[in-house]
A and B are shown apart, each in its own frame.
Chain A
Amino acid sequence: MAFRRSEAPAATDTTNGVPIPVKIVIAGGFAVGKTTFVGSISEITPLTTEAAMTQVAAGIDDTGEATTKTSTTVAMDFGRISLGDDLILYLFGTPGQDRFRFMWDDLVRGAIGAVVLVDTSRLEDCFSAVDYFESNGVPFVVAVNAFHGRLHHSLDAVRSALSIPEDVPVIRTDARDRAATKLALLELVQHALLRASS
């Protein structure tokens, strides 16, 4: 790899016997395979939590009136991977649609970055996720989910259709396959490291 190992002493030791959490966001359109992706590598069956929309979201949601109170909730599936005794990686699968953006600021705060899952037959579903991560400086990789081992478009075609900058990895993955999801996560962490080192 191009980045150098830091030689500073570990600043990440647990202080009180409670493990350190880290998180990665798995984004993408409806039914693109986010929960499958999380489930293929999580040590627990993916859990679901519900976030309720508050009035903070007023004006962001496109349901109309800026002051309308809504009771929308969005379900988020997540999994966990223990990396040793004192480090736990959480994977949060989150909807990529514009109307769920209200929760992204919260979700990406402190995150390593995001894997944007893409179905090549519905490329447009990931536009808003890519826009969001790009404009907010969140490290991300684009992982094209090859359903039944087939891609409808080449990775280069996907990169150019989504206008993904050269330094952002566009990779192929298979959400059902643990080895493939592991590679996608590794790709993201390496990308985040490169960005943090530069």
Chain B
Amino acid sequence: MSDDFDGVDRTLRVRPYALTGGRTRSANDLPIETIVKATLRGLSMASQLTLERKRILTMCTVPLSIAEVSAYMHIPLGVARVLVGDMSAEDLLETNQTPVARFGDRPDIKLLERVLDGLQAL
């Protein structure tokens, strides 16, 4: 019995990196907090996809981060990154990343102000 909410055993039955053909990098290297969502194209193609890809698509009808995909699928972060990176390159998923300031790699001031307001309103 697994601890999943739907009672279905979701434990992988293959070595994780077998899912990526042994690759640890995708052409599209995304940060772990990248939020992904299924595209219409992805949903329309779902029936033709491999089991893992289909599960990711189904899961991402609501927006989820790559970290959440990794946790819910019980696959290592690196594997989730490659799978999601490939799927977004194929237009099956759309993604959004943190916009960062022009210089450096921190969020810009406008975004920090929104986070501050959002936290204060909690």
User: Could you tell me the distance in whole angstroms from the C-beta of A188 to the nearest C-beta in chain B?
Assistant: 10
Q: Does B101 contact A (CB under 8 A)?
A: yes
A22 touches B98 (CB 8 A): yes
Q: Does A157 contact B (CB under 8 A)?
A: no
A196 touches B106 (CB 8 A): yes
Complex Cα gap A10–B117 (Å): 14
B35 touches A88 (CB 8 A): yes
Contact for B95 among A18, A83, A88, CB less than 8 A = A18
Given contacts A47-B71, A107-B32, contact A12 B108 (CB under 8 A): yes
Given contacts A14-B96, A52-B78, contact A110 B105 (CB under 8 A): yes
Number of residues on chain A facing chain B (CB within 8 A):
54
B71 touches A48 (CB 8 A): yes
For A18, A41, A89, A113, which residue has the most chain B Cβ atoms within 10 angstroms? A18
Chain A at the B interface: SS class: mixed
B94 touches A18 (CB 8 A): yes
Count A-B contacts at CB 8 Å: 154
Q: Type the 1/0 row for B78-115, where 1 means its CB is closer than 8 Å to any CB of A.
A: 10100000000000001111111100111111111111
A49 touches B70 (CB 8 A): yes
B65 touches A88 (CB 8 A): yes
Chain B residues, CB < 8 A from A87: 114-115, 118
Chain B residues, CB < 8 A from A50: 70, 76-77
Contact for A12 among B36, B72, B114, B117, CB less than 8 A = B114
Complex Cα gap A115–B32 (Å): 19
Q: Which residues between 1 and 48 of chain A lie within 8 Å of chain B, taking CB atoms? A: 5-6, 8, 10-12, 14-23, 41, 47-48
Given contacts A5-B113, A23-B33, contact A110 B118 (CB under 8 A): no
Given contacts A19-B35, A193-B116, contact A12 B65 (CB under 8 A): no
Chain A residues, CB < 8 A from B109: 6, 193, 196-197
Q: Which residues between 40 and 82 of chain B lie within 8 Å of chain A, taking CB atoms? A: 63, 65, 67-68, 70-72, 76-78, 80
Given contacts A20-B98, A21-B98, A51-B76, contact A189 B112 (CB under 8 A): yes
Jot down 15 A-B pairs with beta carbons below 8 A, ordered by A: A5-B113, A6-B109, A11-B108, A16-B94, A18-B96, A20-B98, A20-B99, A21-B33, A22-B115, A49-B70, A83-B118, A110-B105, A110-B106, A196-B109, A196-B112
Q: Known pairs A112-B115, A186-B120. 7 more at Cβ < 8 A?
A: A11-B110, A12-B111, A52-B78, A78-B67, A89-B118, A92-B67, A192-B112
